[in-house]
Structure 1
Amino acid sequence: MDLQQLVRVANFLGVNAARPTQQGHPNAAKIGILGASQVSTYAVIWPSRHLEAANIAAVAARSEGRAKMFAKQHGIPRSYGSYKELLTDPDLDAVYIGLPNGLHGQWARHALESGKHVLCEKPFCTNAAEARELQSLALEKGLICREAFHYREHPLATRLREITLGPPCHSLEPPTLPQWMVPPAAAGGAGGLLGKLESIDVQVLIPKWVFGDTNIRFLEELAGGAMMDAGTYAVSIMRLLTGSEPRVESASASMRPGSKVVDGAMRARLSWDSGIAGTLHASLQHEGWLPVTEVQVEGERGCLTCKGFIVPFFGNSLRVTTTQAGSMVLSDPAALSYDKGAAATAAAMSNPAFTGSKSKQGEEKRGRGDQVQWTERVFGEKQQTSYYHQLERFTTDLQLLEGRRADRDAGNVKAACAFDAYDSVANAAILDACFEAAGLPLRMPTAEWQQQQQQQQQQYQQQLEK
């Protein structure tokens, strides 16, 4: 492990922070946490210690004792013994929702109705209909309502999209939007180093020992299963790197023992109107000892393989093979400063005598004829986590929308909110289609599931009494 990796681990743990407590800037976004959970710790508490714009001001849990203990442990000023009580706190600007899947929509709705901005863990909702309803409410109230796909905020995601789709076209959207949110300059996926895209294959495999057999991720009443966890990332990155929406052609699920509803793993085949073919494999019962998070993309001019795309700050590897075609211009890894997350363009390397070398950033290049191959590791200038970048954009957008800073155009935030609405609904629609193709029911909110169970119990009792 190199020294920079130690820095990244320290940043993840929040131990390398400028401030160890939640004493934010006067204009900081004051955020309340719903759920005294582990994911809340590493998704918002630790990264907030590096950000003046973020102040974790309150936490709520199902019990007052649990909330107080969590608040004391993390230096959070206020704690509440119920989620509703936190939402009545007039000092809070936003909430982070790190609750089980089936509760996301319910408490996002309550938060929006209370006038709070929302950063909600994936999956945003249990199904596309619920997501559509909530995003309509958020747009109506002019509030940020964002699904927390943190990996997209990391410089690696920007680099991947540049390779598959080409540089963003800032004439179509304001340049202050994240580059992964801006449409590519070339349509049809023909503007990247790989040329016209032909296939994309994604694996997100979590070893079975990580969650065991009794984890809440496997509970039907909480909208659990592999597709609602690992599968959300697989669908998201397929959409991100192709720049368009797929159709689900077929899907098959491996069920959790004793369940006819909850999937332990899911495989699916997808297709795009442009001719791209795709496969995904999502699992929470992987037999291997280590997680697998890998995406492979092939195009008419080459291919890429990326490993570690979900938590890239712990280590990632991006291998690209491509060929020069016509006036195609390639990005030379030796000329790129990936520690800055930048993408400098160099002349195409077409010399048949070109041989392998190493750049100072450790990107390995090889070339033979008109084919070039190299490996990159992308971490960004700040050596920060994807959670940091996610919270930084969320709090910056909130400040702009609330008029607490004027160094950027708040209109761009409104454009981002419109994208948030579209994206969370579109991602949920693909998840729904996978369940339907696998012959499984759509996931439902916990409250709806409980009501359904009560109705079934009542019907059963009525039959017994006849």
Structure 2
Amino acid sequence: MFGMLSRIYTAIAPPTVEKSKDGAIRFGILGAAKIAPMAIVVPAKSHPEVVVHAISARDRGRAEEFAKKHGIPVVRDTYQEILDDPDIDAVFIPLPNSLHYEWAVRSVRAGKHVLLEKPSVDTAAEAEILFGLSQLASSQPSPPIILEAFHNRFHPAVQKFLSLVSPADVAHVHTDSMVPWWLTARDNIEFNYALGGGSMMMLGTYNFALLRMIFAAEPAECVSCETRGFGDGVHDKCDTSFRAQFRFPNGGTADAMSTMRGSVWWKPSEARVTHREVVVPNDGDGKADPLHETVRTRVVTLHGFVQAIAWHRIDVKDTFVLRAKADGRTLRTWTEASSHKAYTYAEAGPEFADAAPGEPWWMSYRWQLEEFVNRVKGRPTQFWISGEDSINQMRMLDMAYEKSGLGLRPMSEFR
């Protein structure tokens, strides 16, 4: 318990390091959003090559208050002034979802690197335009980098979990995530249809991304999608919770469940992967056995796939059956179980030797920032999220919303 509390405390109050005098990336923040401190301000403190230089907000007073609280030296009146500032190298965009597209496009056109809160945009059509523009810009001498900020995908726990999964053999996946009801209010942006709200957009997108990673493929079909809402005639197009089922190209199926109006007590997110039965080498000296075969069914569960820094556990349960080849008789059955944790890539195992060493107290946002800086600097990155990946992510969201009957979120009118 002490170790966990110490890790979390250091994550939210990390040591401040000396900044590089040459080549530090200077960030501007578009909007004084409540996620901004956790997503960029705090992680930047421990990164020698990141300086949070400026912020703007719709309300200058709010931007000034934010800047004073977090030690940001420059406040601009408008988002555009951030983009016009030659002292700014990159922007973090934590605006409401419906504004992601416009300001990401404007940022790329201004030549700024972009760290863009997830979901990247509101529809796949917007994603195709945005990341297509980013691809066109890649021909420039110093092309702007754009990354959809799926912070949890950079955490060692998620990558360790995926290393224990065999995508071709996955038969079924269950995922669930939740936010207690007291953390979200009816009139919050999370439930504002015009701003791109809804539980799939805000929370279920984590489930969807993990499913795509587990299967290492895109869903072939959304089989079903049931949603719940307030039913008040005002927020009817915004889902407060949902349950969707998908079919993947290998024939496997997956369930995704999320709610933004969960019970009082927080439950860690969970992903449970059940594999098909596969033949494995028999026990013994490794020689082929003409009379018997051993088959294994594996279940891998990751508890805490959204915020692994707080707590997570990876459980592996392998069930083995020794059979007679002649008639299929079961001769022996046994189970092997193990549990794992990975707060650093060193802890994750030797297969991650090329990943950043990191610290046990690094939040997923800090791991994400490390990859972002490395990509901007032209260094190798291990777990980058490509533009095509982000487009496919939005296609999955579109697929589910269309199946639910709620329809797609409205597209931006900006061009």
Query: Which runs of at least 4 in structure 1 moved beyond 3 Å after TM superposition?
Result: 323-326, 445-448
What does residue range 16-31 of structure 1 map to in structure 2 within 5 Å? 16-19=14-17, 23-31=19-27
Q: CA deviation at 1:370?
A: 4.4
Question: Counterpart of 1:443?
Answer: 409
Q: Residues 279-312 of structure 1: CA distance to partner in whole angstroms, max 9, x if unpaired?
A: 1112111234214411110002210221111110
Aligned partner of 1:18: which letter? T
Q: CA deviation at 1:24?
A: 4.8
**Matching of residue 227 in structure 1 with residue 226 in structure 2:** no
SS in 1 for 2:386: helix
**Matching of residue 164 in structure 1 with residue 165 in structure 2:** yes
What does residue range 214-293 of structure 1 map to in structure 2 within 5 Å? 214-246=187-219, 247-258=221-232, 259-293=235-269
Q: Residues 133-178 of structure 1: CA distance to partner in whole angstroms, max 9, x if unpaired?
A: 000001111221111000010101111110113xxxxxxxxxxxxx
Question: Counterpart of 1:213?
Answer: 186
Question: Counterpart of 1:48?
Answer: 44
Q: Say whether the 8 Å CA contact 1:154–1:386 is kept in structure 2.
A: yes
Question: In 2 relative to 1, CA 325–140 (structure 1 residues): closer, same or farther, beyond 3 Å?
Answer: farther
**Whole-angstrom distance in 2 between the partners of 1:289 and 1:232:** 22
Q: CA deviation at 1:214?
A: 2.1
Question: Counterpart of 1:9?
Answer: 8
Q: Residues 219-242 of structure 1: CA distance to partner in whole angstroms, max 9, x if unpaired?
A: 111010101011110100001111
Name which of 64, 68, 74 aligns with 1:68. Answer: 64
Q: Residues 379-407 of structure 1: CA distance to partner in whole angstroms, max 9, x if unpaired?
A: 1151111110001110121122xxxxxxx
TM-score by length of 1: 0.74
SS in 2 for 1:130: helix
**Whole-angstrom distance in 2 between the partners of 1:249 and 1:287:** 27
Question: In 2 relative to 1, CA 131–43 (structure 1 residues): closer, same or farther, beyond 3 Å?
Answer: same
Q: CA deviation at 1:277?
A: 0.9
SS in 1 for 2:164: helix
Q: Residues 5-26 of structure 1: CA distance to partner in whole angstroms, max 9, x if unpaired?
A: 233212321x23133x9x5542
What does residue range 112-131 of structure 1 map to in structure 2 within 5 Å? 112-131=108-127
Question: In 2 relative to 1, CA 29–213 (structure 1 residues): closer, same or farther, beyond 3 Å?
Answer: same
Q: Say whether the 8 Å CA contact 1:29–1:93 is kept in structure 2.
A: yes
SS in 2 for 1:164: coil
Aligned partner of 1:35: which letter? G
**Matching of residue 378 in structure 1 with residue 356 in structure 2:** no
Q: Say whether the 8 Å CA contact 1:228–1:431 is kept in structure 2.
A: yes
What does residue range 123-202 of structure 1 map to in structure 2 within 5 Å? 123-142=119-138, 143-165=144-166, 189-190=167-168, 196-202=169-175
SS in 2 for 1:111: helix
**Whole-angstrom distance in 2 between the partners of 1:38 and 1:260:** 25
Q: CA deviation at 1:369?
A: 5.8
Name which of 396, 405, 422 aligns with 2:388. Answer: 422
**Superposition RMSD in Å:** 2.1
**Whole-angstrom distance in 2 between the partners of 1:447 and 1:7:** 47
Aligned partner of 2:72: which letter? I
Count of residue pairs the alignment pairs up: 364
What does residue range 92-131 of structure 1 map to in structure 2 within 5 Å? 92-131=88-127
Q: Say whether the 8 Å CA contact 1:71–1:78 is kept in structure 2.
A: yes
SS in 2 for 1:312: coil
Aligned partner of 2:84: which letter? T
SS in 1 for 2:28: strand
Q: Say whether the 8 Å CA contact 1:68–1:80 is kept in structure 2.
A: no
Unaligned runs of at least 5 residues, structure 1: 166-188, 191-195, 327-367, 401-407, 449-466
Name which of 298, 305, 309 aligns with 2:274. Answer: 298
**Whole-angstrom distance in 2 between the partners of 1:213 and 1:321:** 41
Question: Counterpart of 2:289?
Answer: none
**Whole-angstrom distance in 2 between the partners of 1:25 and 1:106:** 33
Aligned partner of 1:389: which letter? W
Unaligned runs of at least 5 residues, structure 2: 139-143, 277-296, 323-331, 347-358
Question: Counterpart of 2:328?
Answer: none
Q: CA deviation at 1:208?
A: 1.2
Q: Say whether the 8 Å CA contact 1:28–1:399 is kept in structure 2.
A: no
Q: Say whether the 8 Å CA contact 1:231–1:282 is kept in structure 2.
A: yes
**Matching of residue 391 in structure 1 with residue 389 in structure 2:** no
Aligned partner of 2:15: which letter? A
Q: Say whether the 8 Å CA contact 1:253–1:263 is kept in structure 2.
A: yes
SS in 2 for 1:206: strand
Question: Counterpart of 1:404?
Answer: none
Q: Residues 183-241 of structure 1: CA distance to partner in whole angstroms, max 9, x if unpaired?
A: xxxxxx24xxxxx1110111012111111222111111101010101111010000111
Aligned partner of 1:53: which letter? E
More strand per residue? 2
**Matching of residue 203 in structure 1 with residue 181 in structure 2:** no
TM-score by length of 2: 0.83
